[in-house]
């Protein structure tokens, strides 16, 4: 599979946005996830304060920041296509000394929304970092990955 | 330390951008790092192709995307202050089945540039993901963290 | 009607962009209006100067700012869907000690353009404020509302 | 006063960003306010639901949208100067069938932040509109005005 | 031909985004080109260094900047419609003491992508300017023009 | 001179934003110019219509678009530093079958505003193109160059 794809390599190694104009418009979904890990003591403190920081509600702010970042994906990732999106949902749940983020994106387009979902997770995690860094800089954003995508040439994670 | 900070919690739990107007303008530096991990077979293929994908040079595109994202930090992270930046550098090196990213940001401002450096790493990683996902979606962005910051009330990692 | 809608409330109270993927693409129009009110003496002065300020033509600048803001709606309002727009028109007329703004937006999409029309009016009004505030800060932006929308599940103002 | 200002009118009536390079850097503050008015029945419903809509917490989302819009002011209002901001705070309180918004902005700059505070109020109001329009389109954004500014050549509202 | 078009002039001379809602969605392509001209001595130096400057690879950075600018066209040019784009390609080749830029854009939309292609060329040229201006400010960006467009009411350059 | 500069070349050829943190804050000015050339018949028509097109006043719209683009320079040109600007002025005058654009930018910063002035000219020209292309696509944007800069290590054009 790898070999087949790389036969399409751009000869000069220059960046180009690939042509999707001949691809069919289909209903596409992507789900990505990731987490931000806290020192145990900090996580306990956050939980006690119901995930409020001096900058406000951590999870609500992170969800809104993530949703807005999903819409900026093609501005952030140079070779992403600008897309209309039909649904964005971000969920944040406490894990073991972590906040676990999941982002779902849907569209009816000629190309998929993996990068949108990953950008949503990533920006939500950065926002949580920003809102808790007054407590500690020993934070780590980790395990950002795609869980599932449907609607394209090949599905993933189903 | 944790306790002291949380005494400043905004009573209604509403988001607010903290007041830095009384803080001194100092020279500030932050260095963040992170990585994107590939399946061994994919990493070998990328190395063989000198990290060129069908969308162009992976590392060069990621470096530029990361630099541009650093400048968008206050647009992405709701409670970040807009800052003038005096230097941005992103370095990407092959690791063990990974590309390892480091981002350095400098400014002369009233607040630090941790979020800027972390946003640079994060967006560079997402750009690498976008440029290699044609080979595999089994990619993971991981270990995004702050390595060092200087110039603020308290240094970190020095 | 109110009751029916609120049965859809998101249980955790978290922000989410609602799913429009199953809605039909239709031709949609929205018209919003609003005004900025001046002290009588200032309005007389502006009229005498044909609505030119030291920053340039007030109405022309406001119209362009409003049009550009319409296109930024989904970047400004967190839960708005990014849409392609097929027409934007902003009209500004002198009223009684006021400049009265109307904004018309059209699209062929799965969701309406009320927020786009309201954002156009609002930003045009802010731009007028900016261009006349050298004369007085006793200005008021008022009566921003939707006049009409067509093409969705239910029309308004027709 | 009016006359004096208008003697500076740009002869061709063209837009121009005025020169502030010779002005002194001072600590500047602006406070603006405004409101969004609901039909009584709708307001009662919103209150009963603690200002949660199917799109999430109305006030929290509006506060974050407002803060982010403050930072976009010079991108929205053509002749505004890009500024570094040192504090942004938005407060939303229930009034009589209304939600009342106040926005405070601070900076250390050569020009004031009135437009920033007004843009924050305006965008918070638009966001509330977006989050409640499923209940009714009979909403009105009103009384957006400057309450106070300090730190410039002349204060206002003090 | 000129006469016919101008009969549509907006009576008040105000800016408006023209209505394309009744136009058909077609596959549209535009190709624009332009160049940046260097002093002979500087061009020789750049060629010797394989078009690397102290700010990095000149052509790779310019290509990415151009692609990203194409996606920002409707944000830069007030009366352009926001469009989804299906392909963007920028090619930069050495000419006689010049770097020659060509930008191809494709979409399936109700209006053409000439402005997108021209914006891509223009921003790539500005980026080259920025990366080489340490050597000389005697640079000139020139001959930015449309070479070809297809898919609209009338083709050009075919 | 050329040789000296190129000794600073980044060894890997990667893009990086150069460090200006040790440079002094000075008052800096840049003036750039350029033109857009029309077929004689089209220019005559535009002049007869006082440079109004069906999209509105050509020069007023172009001036505002240019001013707004100046403020976006660091978002468009990857290695430009984000700067506060203290003055932007764009002037457009009829030439021989051309509209001639001049852009002046001022700031008090650690680095110059050449790219800002050039971006203003370039975007004003593109906006004129957009507003007149209904008449002809035989338009050419040309001679975009720096006329003067002061306040940096070395002046230019004085």
pLDDT tens for F90-124 read 999 999 999 999 999 999 999 999 999 999 999 99
3-class state of residue B30 by DSSP: strand
Closest residue in chain E to residue B64, using alpha carbons only: E61
* Residue A143 backbone class (left: φ over 0; alpha: ψ -120 to 50; beta: rest): left
Residues of E involved in catalysis: 130
Picking from D49, D119, D156, the nearest residue to C137 by CB comes out as D156
Q: For residue B10, tell me if it sits in a domain.
A: no
What average pLDDT does the segment C40-68 reach?
Answer: 91
What average pLDDT does the segment A83-92 reach?
Answer: 95
Chain E positions touching C67 (Cβ under 8 A) are 15-17, 78-79
- Cβ distance of A17 and E91 shorter than 8 Å: no
Chain E positions touching B50 (Cβ under 8 A) are none
Closest residue in chain D to residue A89, using alpha carbons only: D55
CA F37 distance to own-chain centroid = 16
- pLDDT band at residue E136, thresholds of 50, 70 and 90? very high
Query: Consecutive 10-residue runs of chain F (158 residues): their mean pLDDT?
Result: 40 82 94 98 93 83 97 98 95 96 96 97 98 95 97 89
Q: For residue D94, tell me if it sits in a domain.
A: yes
Chain A positions touching E87 (Cβ under 8 A) are 17-21
Chain B positions touching A68 (Cβ under 8 A) are 76
Angstrom distance (rounded) from CA D121 to CA D67 = 9
- Against chain E, the chains showing at least 3 CB pairs within 8 Å are A, B, C, F
Best residue in D50, D64, D87 for a mutation probing chain A (most A CBs within 10 Å): D64
Residue C130 annotated as catalytic: yes
User: Which residues, 6 or more positions from F84, have their beta carbon under 8 angstroms from its beta carbon?
Assistant: B84, D81, D82, D83, D84, D109, F107, F108, F109
Q: For residue E155, tell me if it sits in a domain.
A: no
Considering its fold, how many domains does chain A have in total?
1
* D154: pLDDT strictly greater than 90: no
- To the nearest whole Å, the CA of D12 is away from the closest chain F CA by 10
Q: What is the pLDDT of residue A14?
A: 82
User: Terminal CA-to-CA distance of chain A, rounded, Å?
Assistant: 19
| Furthest C-alpha separation in chain A | 56
Chain F positions touching E60 (Cβ under 8 A) are 15
Residues D81-133: pLDDT tens digits? 999 999 999 999 999 999 999 999 999 999 999 999 999 999 999 999 999 99
Asked if residues C105 and C70 have their Cβ atoms less than 8 Å apart, the reply is: yes
Name the most confidently modeled range: B2-11, D70-79, E56-65: D70-79
Closest residue in chain B to residue D90, using alpha carbons only: B16
- Cβ distance of D87 and B15 shorter than 8 Å: no
* Residue A144 lies in domain: 30-150
3-class state of residue E25 by DSSP: coil
Q: What is the pLDDT of residue F4?
A: 37
Q: What is the pLDDT of residue B3?
A: 43
3-class state of residue D143 by DSSP: strand
Best residue in E17, E22, E71 for a mutation probing chain C (most C CBs within 10 Å): E17
What average pLDDT does the segment E31-48 reach?
Answer: 96
Comparing CA positions, the residue from A56, E123, F114 lying closest to residue B78 is A56
Asked if residues F62 and F127 have their Cβ atoms less than 8 Å apart, the reply is: yes
What average pLDDT does the segment E1-12 reach?
Answer: 44
What average pLDDT does the segment E120-137 reach?
Answer: 96
Q: For residue B143, tell me if it sits in a domain.
A: yes
Q: How far is CA D150 from CA B85, D25, D29, D82, in A?
A: 28, 13, 5, 19
Q: What are phi and psi of D28, to 5 degrees?
A: -125, 145
Q: What is the pLDDT of residue D28?
A: 96
Q: For residue C21, tell me if it sits in a domain.
A: no
Q: For residue A42, tell me if it sits in a domain.
A: yes
- Cβ distance of D79 and F67 shorter than 8 Å: yes
Tell me whether B11 touches chain D (CB under 8 Å): no
Q: What is the pLDDT of residue A6?
A: 37
Average pLDDT of chain D?
Answer: 91
Q: For residue E4, tell me if it sits in a domain.
A: no
Q: What is the pLDDT of residue F8?
A: 33
What average pLDDT does the segment A114-139 reach?
Answer: 97
Best residue in C53, C54, C60, C123 for a mutation probing chain F (most F CBs within 10 Å): C60
- Cβ distance of B142 and A143 shorter than 8 Å: yes
Q: How far is CA F154 from CA F9, F28, F149, F150, in A?
A: 20, 11, 9, 7
Of the listed C3, C50, C91, C130, which one is catalytic? C130
User: Which residues, 6 or more positions from A4, have their beta carbon under 8 angstroms from its beta carbon?
Assistant: none
Q: For residue D96, tell me if it sits in a domain.
A: yes
Asked if residues E101 and E31 have their Cβ atoms less than 8 Å apart, the reply is: no
CA dihedral of B1, B2, B7, B11, whole degrees rounded to 10: 160
- Cβ distance of D15 and C57 shorter than 8 Å: yes
| Furthest C-alpha separation in chain B | 57
- pLDDT band at residue E158, thresholds of 50, 70 and 90? confident
List the CATH number of the domain containing C102.
Answer: 3.30.70.640
* C9: pLDDT strictly greater than 60: no
CA B65 distance to own-chain centroid = 11
Residues 55-114 of F with CB under 8 A from E: 55-57, 60-61, 64-65, 68-69, 72, 75-80, 114
Chain A positions touching C81 (Cβ under 8 A) are 84-86
Q: Between these two residues, A64 and F153, which has the higher pLDDT value?
A: A64
Residues of A involved in catalysis: 130
CA F3 distance to own-chain centroid = 28
Closest residue in chain D to residue A87, using alpha carbons only: D55
Best residue in B50, B51, B60 for a mutation probing chain E (most E CBs within 10 Å): B60
Quote the ipTM score. Answer: 0.94
């Amino acid at each position: 599979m790898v070999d087949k794809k790389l036969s399409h390599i751009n000869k000069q190694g220059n960046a180009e946005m690939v042509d999707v104009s001949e691809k069919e418009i289909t209903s596409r979904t992507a789900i990505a996830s990731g987490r931000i890990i806290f020192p145990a003591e900090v996580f306990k403190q956050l939980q006690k304060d119901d995930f409020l920081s001096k900058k406000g509600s951590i999870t609500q702010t992170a969800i809104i920041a993530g949703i807005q970042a999903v819409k900026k994906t093609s501005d952030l990732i140079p070779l992403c296509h600008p897309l209309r999106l039909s649904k964005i949902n971000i969920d944040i749940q406490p894990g073991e000394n972590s906040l676990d983020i999941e982002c779902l994106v849907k569209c009816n387009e000629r190309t998929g929304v993996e990068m949108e979902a990953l950008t949503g997770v990533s920006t939500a995690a950065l926002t949580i970092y920003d809102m808790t860094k007054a407590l500690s800089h020993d934070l780590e954003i980790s395990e950002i990955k795609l869980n599932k995508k449907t609607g394209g040439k090949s599905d993933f994670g189903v």
